């Protein structure tokens, strides 16, 4: 009675092939940190923009919260909410022109926060803001239209 079995050489050969395919797979399926950071910043900007669209600061009152509809540059990649509290950013961020706070008004227009986030006519920006994210010698950009607040 003859039993058919795999030889040790055949088993080692199969293990080497599986190891090679695993190594190639890990190289091609690495996480896309830069795209994840871009999506995270875009999500935060859209959230702040929609808050600004729903909160009218044109008629000031003593109880008005001027921080609604505004976000600081330092908070763009900072996880702070209940959903995003575990997010870890990898990219570095640059704003052109450099602004420390961005605010959106009830019409969606873009303001700088230098007037205490009051979104007055004087704080209205006259040019688009470009947000550049850099990671591992790669970059991704987000441009905010200063008239409509749209992201592209």
* Domain edges within the chain: 33-144
Residue 111, C-beta contacts closer than 8 angstroms, at least 6 positions apart: 102, 103, 104, 105, 119, 120, 123, 124, 125
Instruction: Please give the average per-residue pLDDT across 22-44, as a whole number.
Output: 89
pTM to 2 decimal places = 0.78
Reported as a pLDDT band with limits 50, 70 and 90, residue 48 is: very high
DSSP code of 97? Answer: S
pLDDT of residue 114: 85
* Average pLDDT rounded to a whole number, residues 25-36: 86
pLDDT of residue 148: 92
Average pLDDT over residues 11-24: 93
Q: Residue 23 is inside which H or E element, if any? A: helix 8-28
Instruction: Report, as an integer, the average pLDDT of 54-81.
Output: 85
Q: What is the pLDDT of residues 88-137, one digit of tens each?
A: 889 999 999 999 999 999 999 999 888 888 888 888 999 999 999 999 99
């Amino acid at each position: 009675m003859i039993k058919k079995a795999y030889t040790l050489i055949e088993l080692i050969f199969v293990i080497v092939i599986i190891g090679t395919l695993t190594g190639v797979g890990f190289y091609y399926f690495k996480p896309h940190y830069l795209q994840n950071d871009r999506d995270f910043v875009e999500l935060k900007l859209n959230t702040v923009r929609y808050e600004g669209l729903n909160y009218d600061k044109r008629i000031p009152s003593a109880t008005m919260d001027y921080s609604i509809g505004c976000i600081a540059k330092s908070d763009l990649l900072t996880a702070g909410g209940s959903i995003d509290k575990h997010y870890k950013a990898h990219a570095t961020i640059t704003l052109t022109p450099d602004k420390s706070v961005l605010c959106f008004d009830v019409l969606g227009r873009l303001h700088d926060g230098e007037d205490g986030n009051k979104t007055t006519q004087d704080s209205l920006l006259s040019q688009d803001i470009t947000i550049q994210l850099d990671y591992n010698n790669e970059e991704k950009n987000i441009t905010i239209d200063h008239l409509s607040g749209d992201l592209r």
